[in-house]
Structure 1
């Protein structure tokens, strides 16, 4: 009978060993599944964070562009120039004193004196 008891004990140990190895394999599967889910969650969180960072970069770039444009507009307003009427009129007076005046139509050399005479020597042209 001792052989029968040894055989039964051997079968029981084998059954327990199979059961425990099956249990361990199931536990490993569960652990692997949990690890995959955690990896997916980390990936999703990283993608969400990357998207948020990209949006912040775009907003920062827009804000910088707006600040630059506003600064340029302020500089342009500060730098506005007006016509120097007195300077241009004094220059024209000085040229008129020299004899011939110039306009944009005649250029800096002005009009020749003989072309100003209409052929008559009187003031009225007769």
Structure 2
């Protein structure tokens, strides 16, 4: 009998996915917020990202690369969402989205997600003034 007891391989996949996803969900949400700047949009795209991550989880070879893999999927989901809202005058340029995504995923950012959200919210409120 294996160490897994009566758990099937599918159960292990679910447990692994849930553990990786919940560990990284806040970072992933903060990443989306830097690209979308709107809580409702982030929620919508996050739901899509979550679904795609689960559907493609079997393709992830190295669980230690989950977050970077999730960032790539999130970036493509943002682009798909952006195309859907192409008429909106506040949509970021596609090149800017790629630049922001690469910068964020490069580990060069030193602020934690909550600090980034606070700074971005402050900037957005200044733009509205």
Bigger radius of gyration: 1
TM superposition score category, shorter chain reference:
under 0.3
Q: TM-score if structure 2 supplies the norm length?
A: 0.22
Q: Which structure is higher in RCO with an 8 Å CA cutoff and minimum separation 6?
A: 2
